[in-house]
Structure 1
Amino acid sequence: MLDELRVRDDAGNRPRPYPDDTGGAPLRCCLRSSTAGERIALISYAPLRRWAAQTDADPGHLTGGRMLELPGDAQTAFAHALAEAFADPRTAQVHVRAVEYGCYHFRVDRP
Structure 2
Amino acid sequence: MRTGTTFRVSALPTALIDTICSSGRDAAGRPVETVVAGGGEPLRCCLRDAEAGEALLLFGYAPPVAAGPYREIGPIFAHVTGCPGPDQAGGYPAAWRGRPQVLRAYDRRGRIHGGRRHDGTDPESVIAELFADPAVRQLHSRNVVYGCFMFAVDRAE
Q: Same fold (TM over 0.5)?
A: yes
Q: Which runs of 4+ in 1 moved over 6 A?
A: none
Give CA-to-partner distance per residue, 1:8-49, whole Å, 9 cap, x none.
Answer: 2111212132456xx22504134232524x554421111224
**Structure with the higher helix share, 1 or 2:** 1
Q: TM-score, normalised by structure 2?
A: 0.52
Tell me whether 1:43 sits opposite 2:59 in the alignment: yes
1:21-100 alignment runs, 5 A limit: 23-28=38-43, 29-30=45-46, 31-36=48-53, 39-49=55-65, 52=66, 58-59=109-110, 61-70=111-120, 74=121, 77-100=122-145
- Considering only CA atoms, is the larger Rg found in Structure 1 or Structure 2? 1
For the 8 Å contact 1:27–1:34, the answer to whether it is kept is: no
Q: 1:2 maps to which residue?
A: 17
**Structure with the higher strand share, 1 or 2:** 2
Closer/same/farther in 2, CA of residues 11 and 25 from structure 1, 3 Å limit? farther
Alignment partners' CA distance in 2, 1:26 and 1:18 = 11
Higher relative contact order (CA 8 A, sep 6+): 2
Q: TM-score, normalised by structure 1?
A: 0.69
Matched positions, count:
97
Could you list the runs of 5+ residues in structure 1 that have no partner in the other structure?
none
Q: Which amino acid is 1:35 matched to? A: A
Alignment partners' CA distance in 2, 1:93 and 1:69 = 20
Q: Report % sequence identity.
A: 37
Q: Which amino acid is 1:4 matched to? A: T
